[in-house]
Chains A and B, each alone.
Chain A
Amino acid sequence: MSEPDVPLLVAEGVTKYYGRQLGCRDVSFSLYQGEVLAVVGESGSGKTTLLQLLSTQLVPSAGRVRYRLRDGVTRDLADLSEAEQRFLFRTDWGYVHQDATLGLRMNVSAGANVGERLMAVGWRHYGRIRGSAVQWLDRVEIDTDRIDDPPLTYSGGMRQRLQIARNLVTQPRLVFMDEPTGGLDVSVQARLLDLLRGLVTELGLAAVIVTHDLAVARLLSHRIMVMKGGEVIEAGLTDQVLDDPREPYTQLLVSSILPA
């Protein structure tokens, strides 16, 4: 890990208004390499807006997002050209959608789904692309016999795992996840979380995970931000915030977890 003291991603006063409607206001934080940040809060609290602002899918109304590129230079993401942003998006970043159909090509085989990023960055050897796809399918626990099946024929959990493989194949340093376990049943969730936790540690990934599920936050993240009405109301170490919440809203959130 190079320059561990310089943050990978820095948000400074990031604000987004949709017309007069507030998306999120004045969000600032630093994310370091290998660190997992969870963003929690109820629906409509601005979590997904924030994720899209961080990943250049939305342009902030105010504030800026800076990112340390692979060459070690930290740059304002708004200053990158569209081509650079795209390149970043499919090499150094990953984006896991809640709805796997948004993140996958449903009619194209799983192998090609995983290989797409490699081909986009110039891989032109079929055998090596396929080899890499096999390796990644195996890693996310998908039967490699199904490499030529399109994700249309996959179950929800498999689709989500395929999406993760597709994102990680270029060895990104930062992964954005929008409710990665949403819509999955509990046992499949547990397996996915286990897999994610393993991969994050193994690869030293930094991640921003948006979730409304505090269990996911507790299991995966080092730090946590609690959002309400578009603003961050509480932030800190995950166990600290969850075990000793200060804000009334966070206390409510924590206490509303059903006991296991």
Chain B
Amino acid sequence: MNAPAYNFAYLDEQTKRMIRRAILKAIAIPGYQVPFASREMPMPYGWGTGGVQVTASILGPDDVLKVIDQGSDDTTNAVSIRKFFAKTAAVRTTTRTAEATIIQTRHRIPETPLSEDQVLVFQVPIPEPLRFLEPRETETRRMHALADYGLMHVKLYEDIARHGHIATTYAYPVKVDGRYVMDPSPTPKFDNPKMDDCAALQLFGAGREKRIYAIPPHTKVVSLDFEDHPFEPSRTPKTCGLCGADDTYLDEVVTDDKGGRLFVCSDSDYCGERRGAEKTA
């Protein structure tokens, strides 16, 4: 089926224009959450409705799309979104990071460094970093407006008081361009340093919460911390069981019911490339 009833990339052109305006505003104010009229998408909330809308709005016929879910190209969410755009936009899809022009991601940034001609689209469940500290949306907006971010450090303080170190390991708050505190979506904090001075444009879409925000290329992104408890990107201190990498973010895979464990790169493409290179070498 080639889905003739649908417009290119599913959304109608007026909707795309509306979303593009929000994206432009988000790029103009790095880290600021721009409200937008999020549409119903043919998938449930929490499956990337925000990311899909952003991708649909920036996708052109010549783009090459890669979709990852927890770093992997072959899990349900990634496969179905890739199929969705292959069907509704007939764009070329890929699993190779270097080939892609648009990469939609759920919770990881690829290990391969991104370039200027790439766009990274994040699926965001909860865009508000202050949400669990201050439940009132009116108040959190005012706090953003006044750059009143003492509360964010209260959370980090609590971590240290309870655990002896900053125990937040994902959705670790960052300050973008010296102004807005932003939730980098639930990416592991291992990926936070990759956001800083990244060559690619980074877009964040939250469908249920109806917010879009962005980090323009080469923007300063600083992870919040204390002077005596500096930010540390964490990873499991193991090497990948498949490619032997010792500097990548690892997934733990249970291999049997006798306590067997295998640690593998969460970025399946990166891992595969490394193994491919070994074979040919």
Q: Residues of A at under 8 Å CB distance from B?
A: 82-83, 86, 90, 105, 108-109, 111-112, 115-117, 119-121, 124-127, 129-130, 147-148
The one of B146, B158, B228 that contacts A112, using a Cβ cutoff of 8 Å: B158
CB <8 Å contact, A125 and B228: yes
Candidates B146, B149, B226; contact of A86 at CB < 8 Å:
B146
Q: Which residue of B lies closest to A85 (CB)?
A: B146
Binding site for A on B (CB under 8 A): 142, 146, 148-151, 153-154, 157-158, 160-162, 225-229
Would you give the shortest CB distance from A41 to chain B, in whole angstroms?
Answer: 32
* Complex Cα spacing A108 to B153, Å: 12
Contact status of A117 and B161, CB under 8 A, knowing A124-B227, A126-B228, A126-B229 = no
Tell whether, in the assembled complex, residue B154 and residue A148 are in contact, meaning their CB atoms are under 8 Å apart. no
CA distance A119 to B224 in the complex (A): 12
B161 CB contacts on chain A under 8 angstroms = 109, 111-112, 130, 147-148
In the complex, A70 Cα to B36 Cα: how many Å? 43
Query: Which residues on A sit within 8 Å (CB–CB) of B162?
Result: 109, 148
Contacts of A126 in B (CB 8 A): 157, 160, 226-229
The answer to whether B228 and A119 have CB atoms under 8 Å apart is no
The answer for the CA separation of A205 and B228 in the assembled complex, in Å, is 33
Q: Which chain A residue lies CB-closest to B160?
A: A126
**B148: A residues at CB distance < 8 A:** 83, 86, 120
Q: Which residue of A has the minimal Cβ distance to B166? A: A126
Flag if B151 contacts A116 (CB, 8 Å): yes
Task: Please tell me if the beta carbons of A119 and B150 are within 8 angstroms of each other in the complex.
Answer: yes
Q: Are A112 and B150 in contact (CB under 8 A)?
A: no
Tell me the nearest residue of chain B to A128, going by C-beta.
B228
CB A121 to nearest CB in B, in angstroms, measures: 7
Contacting residues, chain A, for B160 (C-beta < 8 A): 126
Grouping DSSP codes into helix (H, G, I), strand (E, B) and loop, the A interface class, with mixed when no group exceeds half, is helix
Given A83, A108, A121, A124, which contacts B154 in the complex, CB threshold below 8 Å? A108
A-B contact pairs, 6 of them (CB 8 A): A111-B157, A111-B161, A119-B157, A125-B226, A126-B229, A148-B161
Closest Cβ–Cβ distance, residue A106 to chain B (whole Å): 12
The answer to whether A127 touches B146, judged by C-beta atoms less than 8 angstroms apart, is no
Q: Could you tell me if A83 and B157 are in contact, using CB atoms closer than 8 angstroms?
A: no
- Taking a contact as CB atoms under 8 Å apart, the answer to whether A116 and B227 are in contact is no
Q: How many A-B residue pairs have CB under 8 A?
A: 55
Report the Cα distance A90→B149, complex, angstroms.
Answer: 13
Given contacts A125-B226, A125-B227, A126-B226, contact A117 B150 (CB under 8 A): yes
Known contacts: A124-B227, A126-B226. The answer to whether A115 contacts B157 by CB under 8 A is yes
Give complex CA distance A115, B161 in Å.
12
Which of chain A's residues has its CB closest to B227's CB?
A: A125
Q: Tell me which residues across on chain B come within 8 A of A117, comparing CB atoms.
A: 150
Q: CB distance A108 to B146 under 8 Å?
A: no
Residue of A nearest to B156 (CB): A126
Q: Which of A82, A90, A112 has the most CB of B within 10 A?
A: A112
CB distance from B166 to the nearest CB of A (A): 9
Known A-B contacts: A124-B227, A125-B228. Give 13 more (CB < 8 A): A82-B146, A105-B154, A111-B157, A115-B157, A116-B154, A119-B157, A124-B226, A125-B227, A126-B160, A126-B226, A127-B228, A147-B161, A148-B162
Identity of the chain B residue whose Cβ is nearest the Cβ of A115 in the assembled complex: B157
- Indicate which residue in B142, B146, B154, B229 contacts A115 across the interface (CB closer than 8 Å): B154
Inside 8 A of A124's CB, which chain B residues have their CB? 153, 225-227
Nearest CB on B from A75, distance (A): 18
Inter-subunit contact A116/B146 (CB<8 Å): no
Determine the chain B residues whose CB is within 8 A of the CB of A148 once the complex forms.
Answer: 161-162
The 3 closest A-B pairs by CB, nearest first: A120-B150, A119-B153, A126-B226
Q: Judging by beta carbons under 8 Å apart, are B229 and A119 in contact? A: no
Which chain B residue has the least Cβ–Cβ distance from A81?
B146
Within 8 Å CB of A129, what residues of B?
A: 157
Q: In the complex, what's the smallest C-beta–C-beta distance from A236 to chain B, in angstroms?
A: 40
CA gap between A116 and B149 in the complex, in Å: 10
Residue of A nearest to B226 (CB): A126
Asked if A121 contacts B146 (CB within 8 A), the reply is no
Could you say which residues of chain B place their CB within 8 Å of the CB of A82?
142, 146
